[in-house]
């Protein structure tokens, strides 16, 4: 495990608010993520976890608040948000992979069109990552020929291959049965060990306890409680947290 550098946050989000019409989904959420850290976002369905991740990736327009990535404000007006997104990977529950491309071409696509790498170089990088998840021999298969776990692992390395500053994972295992989700969790563990910075929304609390450095409990659009993983799960302080943990564990 890499040591965490506390001097400069990788991601800083202040007072994030998001309304859909009249409905307030995020009501002022703050977030600090340091390089190499894994932050787990937990909370019941509808608490705003996905919305938060999508705001961080600028796929949703903020209703208020500011976000900095490595000290650079990415929420400022007029920023090139395609460039920002190229530095922040986002993987979600399902339908990540492009159905008309082989998994090799899935991984290569952004390497070529966003990072402008040559075909040869993109192939090399992509094959390297597919090999790391044991799918190099399936490189030319189409996503629908792969298991759900293989698809999710490919989706994750497709994002990681771009060497993003931050990886956002939105319940990447919740569409999978336990055995397949185990494969995916294994990959996340592996990425943690090589220093990838990750914010993940998850229902897998035991996994969050194991790999996360910091756990945030989101309740109806606000942070009800947060803390170091071990401490958070051992001594929840907030009544809502206790209730939630009692319900799901």
Partner 1 sequence: MSQSTTSEAQLARETWRVSRKRRSTLTAIVSTLVFAVVAWLLLVNTPGWSRVQTSFFDWDTAVKAFPRVLDGLWLNLRVLVFASISVLIVALLLALATTLRNPALTPIRLLAKGYIDLFRGTPLIITLYLVGFGIPGLRIEAFGRIAPEILGTIALTLTYSAYVAEVFRAGIESIHPSQRLAARSLGLSYSQSVRLVVLPQAVRKVVPPLMNDFVALQKDVGLISVLGAVDAVRGAQIEVAHFANFTPYIVAGLFFVILAIPTVRLTDWLAARMAKREQMGTVL
Ligand X SMILES: Nc1ncnc2c1ncn2[C@@H]1O[C@H](COP(=O)(O)OP(=O)(O)OP(=O)(O)O)[C@@H](O)[C@H]1O
Which three-class secondary structure state does DSSP give residue 155?
helix
**Calpha distance 132→129 (Å, rounded):** 5
| By CB under 5 A, residue 50 contacts Mg ion | yes
Identified binder of ligand X from the candidate list 12, 39, 51, 123, rule CB under 6 A: 51
Residue 137 Cβ vs partner 1, minimum distance, rounded to whole Å = 24
Distance between CA atoms of residues 146 and 187, nearest Å: 17
Q: Are 54 and 223 in contact (CB under 8 A)?
A: no
In whole angstroms, how close is the CB of 152 to ligand X at the nearest point?
16
Question: Does 96 engage in binding with partner 1 (CB under 8 A)?
Answer: yes
Residues 6+ apart with CB under 8 A from 101: 109, 142, 143
Find the shortest distance in angstroms from Cβ 7 to partner 1.
Answer: 28
Q: Which of 2, 5, 8, 20 binds ligand X (CB under 6 A)?
A: 20
Q: Of 82, 84, 85, 120, which is closest to residue 104 (Cα–Cα)?
A: 120
Q: Which of 9, 43, 48, 89 binds partner 1 (CB under 8 A)?
A: 89
CA atoms of 33 and 205, how far apart (whole Å): 19
Residue 125 as a binder of ligand X (CB under 6 A): the answer is no
Phi then psi dihedrals of residue 88, to 5 deg: -125, 110
Which residues of this protein are in contact with ligand X, per CB under 6 A? 20, 25, 43, 45-51
Q: What is the contact surface with Mg ion in residues (CB under 5 A)?
A: 50
Residue numbers at the binding site for partner 1 (CB under 8 A): 57, 59, 82-83, 85-90, 92, 94-100, 109-110, 113-114, 155, 158-159, 162
């Amino acid at each position: 495990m890499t040591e965490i550098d506390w001097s400069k946050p990788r991601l800083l989000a202040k007072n994030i608010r998001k309304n859909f019409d009249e409905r307030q989904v995020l009501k002022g959420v703050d977030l600090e993520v340091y390089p190499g850290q894994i932050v787990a976002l937990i909370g019941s369905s509808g608490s705003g976890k996905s919305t938060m991740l999508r705001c961080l990736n600028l796929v949703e327009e903020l209703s208020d608040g500011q976000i900095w990535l490595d000290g650079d404000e990415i929420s400022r007006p007029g920023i090139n948000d395609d460039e920002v997104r190229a530095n922040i990977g986002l993987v979600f529950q399902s339908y990540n992979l492009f159905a008309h491309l082989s998994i090799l071409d899935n991984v290569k696509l952004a390497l070529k069109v966003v990072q402008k790498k040559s075909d040869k170089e993109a192939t090399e990088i992509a094959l390297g990552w597919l090999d790391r998840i044991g799918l190099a021999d399936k490189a030319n298969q189409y996503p629908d020929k792969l298991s759900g776990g293989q698809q999710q692992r490919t989706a994750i390395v497709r994002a990681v291959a771009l060497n993003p500053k931050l990886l956002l994972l939105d319940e990447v295992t919740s569409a999978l049965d336990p055995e397949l989700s185990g494969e995916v969790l294994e990959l996340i563990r592996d990425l943690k060990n090589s220093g990838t910075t990750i914010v993940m929304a998850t229902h897998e609390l035991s996994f969050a306890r194991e790999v996360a450095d910091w756990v945030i409990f989101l309740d109806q659009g606000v942070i009800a409680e947060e803390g170091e993983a071990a401490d958070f799960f051992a001594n929840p302080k907030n009544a809502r947290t206790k209730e939630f943990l009692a319900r799901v564990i």
